[in-house]
Amino acid sequence: MHGPFCSIVPPYMLRRLAKQGAPEFSSAARAAREALGHVESFRSARSQPAPDIPAGVRQAKPGPPHRTVFDANSAEILPGTLVRKEGEAPVGDPAADEAYDGLGHTHRLYADVFGRNSIDGRGLPLNATVHFGQLYDNAFWDGKQMVFGDGDGEVFERFTKSLSVIGHELAHGVTQYSAALVYRNQAGALNESMSDVFGALVEQYVNNQSAAEASWLIGEGIFTPDVEGRALRSLKAPGTAYDDDVLGKDPQPDSMDTYVRTSADNGGVHINSGIPNRAFYLVAESLGGNAWDSPGRIWYEALTGGSLPPAATFRVFARATAASAVALFGSGSPEHDAVQLAWETVKVKL
């Protein structure tokens, strides 16, 4: 099975960066053009086939992770040279060790909280390649493994620095093996949103942060100090993650009132994901405590329960979360009420 090529940096951000003519951003512009070309070369892989594991099938009992980290040595050939296997000590390369740890943290969230045995539910080995390409401005899930670039050093730093990036990309694998959401339009925005939600939850779970304590940022730490911005996206306040002379302003809407209709970015998958992102944050804020508990369980059951069609719309997913809340906590429960109010707030009708 080969799912869609899903990258953390949106193509619209790379396009803007690629057009920069200022000498101080020459390396960044060149790196963005290369990364953008790589994204566009994978367009034929965007359509996702039916998953190997039918949605809703019971999983095997979670086992330990099986991690392997490779080094591409600045080439673009996968997987690269083996540098660290499961159970081995840190190798002293920050990117390799961050990738190894991030794979483990992500595996632990799914195993401990959701009873899921790795990304596919059947103990899939978790493989990652670091140091991909020269000054490569992206990280991506290619349907089989994680791949991390080192960034250009002018706008982006190495992508393994952010645990939410690692959790985000691996969550694309969870979606691939469960709901198989098409990577286009609202279904694609839901695909991206699921990755933002579970990427945030991995970070919160590892740091034992409550919903009130968490930053709710995706990609915090991957910008250099020269960038006016904290992260790529904010679940708490979509549209506020960055506002920079070079990168522009975060374009995410926070409700259907400002939904962006576009043919770019596969129909705005990285843009309109702000709407379901905020819905999840609002549920977590309303319920308090740890977002991986009730809110996470509701979203996870909606994603993996078998009711979502590949072309699911926001409304279809909203109804799935409401149904999950009822199944898990009962009709009229605080959880059910919080879900209904959240979708109402972002103007998605149930």
Q: What is the pLDDT of residues 222-244, one digit of tens each?
A: 999 999 999 999 999 999 999 99
On the question of pLDDT at 44 being above 50, the answer is: no
Sign of the CA dihedral with 126 first, then 303, 281, and 235 last:
positive
- Residue 106 host element (H or E): helix 94-114
Q: What is the pLDDT of residues 14-34, one digit of tens each?
A: 998 888 877 777 788 888 888
- Residue 4 host element (H or E): none
Domains and CATH numbers, the chain: 6-176 (3.10.170.10), 185-345 (1.10.390.10)
Kindly state the tokens that stand for 60.
Answer: 């095997």
Q: What is the pLDDT of residues 187-220, one digit of tens each?
A: 999 999 999 999 999 999 999 999 999 999 999 9
- Specify the pLDDT at position 31: 86
Residue with tokens 């990258």: 7
The average confidence (pLDDT) of the chain is 92
- Specify the pLDDT at position 95: 98
Among residues 34, 98, 169, 220, which one is catalytic? 169
On the question of pLDDT at 51 being above 60, the answer is: no
| pTM of the predicted model as reported, rounded to 2 decimal places | 0.94
Instruction: Determine the residue type at 126.
Output: L
Instruction: Determine the residue type at 104.
Output: G
Q: What is the pLDDT of residues 147-168, one digit of tens each?
A: 999 999 999 999 999 999 999 9
Q: Residue 42's pLDDT band (boundaries 50, 70, 90)?
A: low
Kindly state the tokens that stand for 31.
Answer: 């790196």
On the question of pLDDT at 112 being above 80, the answer is: yes
- Residue 172 known to be catalytic: no
Phi, psi at 18, each rounded to 5° = -65, -25
- Specify the pLDDT at position 28: 85
- Specify the pLDDT at position 48: 45
On the question of pLDDT at 106 being above 80, the answer is: yes
Look up residue 285 and give its DSSP letter. H
Distance between CA atoms of residues 53 and 218, nearest Å: 28
Q: Residue 47's pLDDT band (boundaries 50, 70, 90)?
A: very low
Residue with tokens 């940022």: 217
- Specify the pLDDT at position 46: 41
- Residue 169 known to be catalytic: yes
On the question of pLDDT at 56 being above 60, the answer is: no
Kindly state the tokens that stand for 301.
Answer: 């059951």
Q: How many CB atoms lie within 10 A of CB 286?
A: 18
Distance between CA atoms of residues 235 and 113, nearest Å: 21
For residue 65, the Cα-to-chain-centroid distance in whole angstroms is 20
Q: Residue 297's pLDDT band (boundaries 50, 70, 90)?
A: very high
Most confident of 2-6, 7-11, 23-27: 7-11
Angle between helices 185-207 and 294-304 (to 10 degrees): 140
- In percent, the amount of the chain with pLDDT more than 70 equals 92
On the question of pLDDT at 50 being above 50, the answer is: no
CB 86 within 8 A of CB 65: yes
On the question of pLDDT at 1 being above 50, the answer is: no
CB 303 within 8 A of CB 194: yes
Q: Residue 3's pLDDT band (boundaries 50, 70, 90)?
A: low
> Shortest CA distance to 100 belongs to which of 129, 61, 132?
129
Among residues 105, 107, 172, 270, which one is catalytic? 270
Using only C-alpha atoms, the chain has a radius of gyration, in whole angstroms, of: 19
CB 1 within 8 A of CB 143: yes
